[in-house]
Amino acid sequence: MVEWTDFERATIQDIFSKMDYESVGHNALARCLVVYPWTQRYFGNFGNLYNAAAIMGNPKVAAHGAVVLHGLDRAVKNMDNIKATYAELSVLHSEKLHVDPDNFRLLADCLTIVVASRLGTGFTADVQAAFQKFLAVVGSALTKQYH
């Protein structure tokens, strides 16, 4: 089981309790599609992803970004059992969606940048470490059911 210090637990709860899930989710997913363009291959039915402006303004990207962040919420509420929490989602991403698990790290990186830009100086090195540990555990859990 993953060990969390009191500081790490408090930091994760604090970040997510103040977060605008819709806005952050939208921004993080859009950044992923812009900065790592090959990720667009998973969103063939999203319509116009032709350039950064199109991606940012695309309503399907915004909606799906919110879906992903709300999915992340489950880990926030079950920090002591993230692996089991995401068992089904892991199977989904592997067997149905065929997502290369590398992409979990890319999305995590973009989410980190969005949170960093929103928190500014509040995103201290300790907070960064806790947040990145959390996202690494999430990524690991999502990759768990891959063969």
Partner 1 sequence: MSGGGDKEGIKSARAANSDCSLILESLIVGKSTEADSMVEWSDAERSAIAAVWGKLNLDEVGPQALGRVLIVYPWTQRYFGTFGDLSNAAAILGNPKVANHGKVVLGALDKAVKNLDNIKGTYANLSQLHCEKLNVDPDNFRLLADCLTIVIATKFGAAFPPQVQATWQKLMAVVVAALTSRYF
Question: What are the residues binding partner 1 (CB under 8 A)?
Answer: 27, 30-31, 34-35, 52, 55-56, 109, 112-114, 116-121, 123-126, 128-129, 132
Phi (first) and psi of residue 35, to 5 degrees = -80, -30
Spell out the residues 6+ positions from residue 24 whose beta carbon is closer than 8 angstroms to its own.
65, 69, 111, 114, 115, 118
CB atoms near residue 98 (< 10 Å) = 9
**Minimum gap (Å) between residue 56 Cβ and partner 1:** 7
Nearer to partner 1, 140 or 145 (CB): 140
User: For residues 1 and 125, which CB has a smaller minimum distance to partner 1 in the complex?
Assistant: 125
Whose Cβ is closer to partner 1: residue 48's or residue 117's? 117
